[in-house]
Structure 1
Amino acid sequence: MKDETELKYALALCLVPGVGGITAKKLISYCGGVEAIFREKKAALLKIPGIGEYLATSLLNQEVFDRAEKEIVFLKKHNINAFFYLSKEYPSRLKHCEDGPIMLFTKGVANLNSSKVISVVGTRSITAYGREQCAAIIEGLKKHNPLIVSGLAFGVDACAHKKALDEGLHTAGVLGHG
C-alpha cells in the first residue's frame, strides 16, 4: 500500500477480533471507507446489521492501532508488501469472492493480476513419475508465461514452483490460514 496511514487502518481492521473478510467488507460499505470505520461512534456501529456490542467495542480499542504499527515495522524490516482488497494490486478475481481475505502479503515480485494464472495442486507424496509429469507440464506452459500458483506444500506444489523458477516463470505461494 502506498500510504502508511491507509495501511495502518487496513491492518488495524484485520487485527480486530471477530472481523473477517465478510464483516470487514460490510463495515467498509456501511461506513464509506476503512478509516471511516474507526471514526464512527459506538452507537452508529451498533446500527450496522451483525455488529454487536463486543465487535463495536473492539473496533474502538486503540490496541489494534498499536499492533498495526508494530506490523508495519515488521513488514518494512522484512521487505513484505501488503495489498488491501481495495488497492489496484489486489487480485481482481479475488475481489469477487465474498469471503476472500481483505489483506494479502507478498514477498518478491509477482503480478497477482496476471492475465494467465495456473494453479497447481497435488499430492505431498509425489512419485518420480509425478515429478516428471509436473515438470513437463510446467515446461510446456513456459511459452504462455503464466503465473504459477500453489499452496507451497511439499510434493507437487514444490515441484511446480521449482520447475517454474528454473524456467524463469513467476510463482506465488498461497499459505492457507485464518
Structure 2
Amino acid sequence: MTENEVLAWIRLQRVQGIGPVLGRKLAAHFGDVQKIFSQSQKQLVHIHGVGPKMAGNLLNSKYREEAEQEYLKAESRGIQCLPLSGRAYPTLLKECADAPLVLFQKGPLEFSGNIALSVVGTRKMTSYGRRFCEHLLEEIKPFNPLIISGLAYGVDICIQRMAIKMGFRTVSCMGHGLDMVYPGAHVKYISEILKEGALLSEFWLGTTPQPMNFVRRNRIIAGLSPATVVVESGLKGGSLITADLAFDYNREVFAVPGRISDAYSAGCNLLIDQQKAHLLQSVQQLAGTLNWVSSGYTPGQKTQKKIEASAPELNSEEARIWKFLCENGVQILDDIAISCELTVREAVVVLLGMEMKDIIRPLPGKKFELTPKFTN
C-alpha cells in the first residue's frame, strides 16, 4: 500500500461526520479511497448519506493537512498506521461493519496466522477471578493464542500480566492515543507487552481518555477475536458491553459462572441466562468450540513415569483421586466421586484434605485439578 493510500484513509477517518460505516461505504463506492477526494461536491451529494455539508467536509483541505501531520507524528514514534484495506489490518476485525477505518499500532505483532482470545471482566476482580485467569492460561498454553484485553484495572491487567509471565503474546486495546497510557499505573507493563505484542487504538495522538472512548474501544476487543471470555462482571460495566458486541458480531462468548450471591458473578450469570454466552465449564470445551489444534499436548496429560515420580504420600482414597486427576486433568466433583468409587460427600471431604496439603485446588464450576507443582 502506498503512502498516499494510507494518508487518504487517515484523512477519511478524520473528516467530521464520517464514521466507520459511511467511510467504508464511500471507499467501496469509488473502489479506491483516494478517488473520494477527487470528486466534485455535486457528485458526492448524490451518494446516500452524504449531504452538502458532509460533501464540503470531505473536500476540505484541512483534513488532508491534518492527516499528513498525524502520519508523520505516528511514524516518528514508531507507530504503524493500519488502513482498513491494508494487509496488516486484522482480518477478523475487518469483518465487522463498524470496524475502524484506520488502526494505530505500536509493537511488532503481526495478526495474520495467529489465533486469538479476548478476555475481559470487572475492575474489582476477586480471588475467584484471579484463580480462574491463572487456570485458563495454564490450560490454553498448548494452543498459544494471542491474549487480547484492555489494560484496565482488575481482570484486564491481571490476564495480561499473567500472559506475559507465561510467555503469551498480548494485545492491549486503548481508549486514547498511543502517546499516553491509561491508567498511568500500568506504564510499567508496556515495555514487556511491546516485546512481542502490541498496543492498538483507533484514536489519534493527543486523544485523552474519555468514557465514550472506552465503549468504542470495546468493539475492537470483541472484533479482534473469534471468542470473548467474561471472567467476572457486575450487572453493568464495560465487560458486558464487550460481550454484547461480540454476540452481535456472531462471535462466541463464554462466561465464567459464579454463585448467585456474588455481585461480580451476576453479569456472567445473566449472560448465560440470556443465552448470549456459553457457560464455561472447561478449557477443552472452549478449544473444541473454536476448533483449536494444539501441538500434540493435551492439558492435564502426563506419562505414567512422571506420575509415579511426582506422587506424594497419600492414603487409599487420596491415591485414587490423585491417579484419576493425573490421567484425566481437570474434572468435576461428580465424575471424581463416581470414578473413584466414593460418595459425593466422601469425595468432598477427601478433596478438602488434599487441598489443605496443597495437592489439588478447586476451580469454578465444582471442578478440581492438581496444583502446578504436580503438573509441570
CA distance in 2, matches of 1:33, 1:107: 26
Aligned-residue offset at 1:171: 0.9
Aligned 8 A contact 1:89 1:113 in 2: yes
Match of 2:156 in 1: 157
What does residue 69 of structure 1 align with?
68
Q: CA deviation at 1:138?
A: 1.5
Q: Could you tell me how far apart the structure 2 residues matched to 1:165 and 1:22 are?
A: 35
Other-structure match for 1:81: 80
SS in 1 for 2:162: helix
Partner of 2:306: none
Q: 1:70 is matched by which residue type in structure 2?
A: Q
- In the TM superposition, what whole-angstrom CA distance separates every residue of 1:37-65 from its partner, at most 9, and x where no partner exists? 00111111011111001110000000001
Is the Cα contact below 8 Å between 2:45 and 2:55 reproduced in 1? yes
Instruction: State the superposition RMSD in angstroms.
Output: 1.4
Shift of 1:105: 1.2
Say whether the 8 Å CA contact 1:139–1:164 is kept in structure 2. Answer: no
Opposite residue 98 of structure 1, the aligned amino acid is A
Q: For 1:18-167, what aligned pairs fall within 5 Å after superposition?
A: 18-167=17-166
Larger CA deviation: 19-28 vs 104-113:
104-113
CA contact (8 A) 2:71 2:81 kept: no
SS of the equivalent of 1:81 reads strand
- Percent identity, aligned pairs only, is 36
2:81 partner letter: A
The AA in structure 1 aligned to 2:56 is T
**Conserved in 2, the CA contact under 8 Å of 1:85 and 1:101?**
yes
| TM-score (norm. length: structure 2) | 0.45
> Quick one: distance in 2 between partners of 1:64 and 1:46?
19
Q: Which moved more, 1:128-137 or 1:19-28?
A: 128-137
**Residue 12 of structure 1 aligns to which amino acid in structure 2?**
R
- The more displaced of 39-48 and 120-129 is 120-129
What displacement does 1:114 show? 4.1
What's the CA shift string for 1:92-142, capped at 9, x where partnerless? 112221111111111112232344111101110112332232122112222
SS in 1 for 2:120: coil
Which of structures 1 and 2 has the bigger CA Rg?
2
Residue identity opposite 2:80 in structure 1: N
Q: How many residues are treated as equivalent by the alignment?
A: 177
User: For 2:161 and 2:2, how far apart are their aligned partners in 1?
Assistant: 34
CA distance in 1, matches of 2:58, 2:6: 16
Ranges of 4+ aligned residues in structure 1 off by more than 4 Å: none
The question of whether the paired residues in 2 share the 8 Å contact of 1:114 and 1:146 is answered with: no
Distance in 2 separating the partners of 1:55 and 1:113: 35
- Judge conservation of contact 1:21–1:101 (CA < 8 Å) in 2: yes
User: In structure 1, how many angstroms separate the alpha carbons of the residues matched to 2:94 and 2:34?
Assistant: 19
Point out where structure 2 has 5 or more consecutive residues left out of the alignment: 176-212, 217-376
What is the SS of the residue equivalent to 2:147? strand
How far apart in 2 are the matches of 1:101 and 1:81?
A: 14
State the alpha-carbon separation in 2 of the partners of residues 81 and 146 from structure 1.
22
Q: Is the 2:122–2:155 contact (alpha carbons within 8 Å) kept by the matching residues of 1?
A: yes
**Secondary structure at the counterpart of residue 39 of structure 1:** coil
Mark the runs of 5 or more structure 1 residues left unpaired by the alignment: none
What is the TM-score of this pair, normalised by structure 1?
A: 0.93
Q: Residues 171 and 106 from structure 1, CA distance in 2 versus in 1: closer, same or farther, beyond 3 angstroms?
A: same
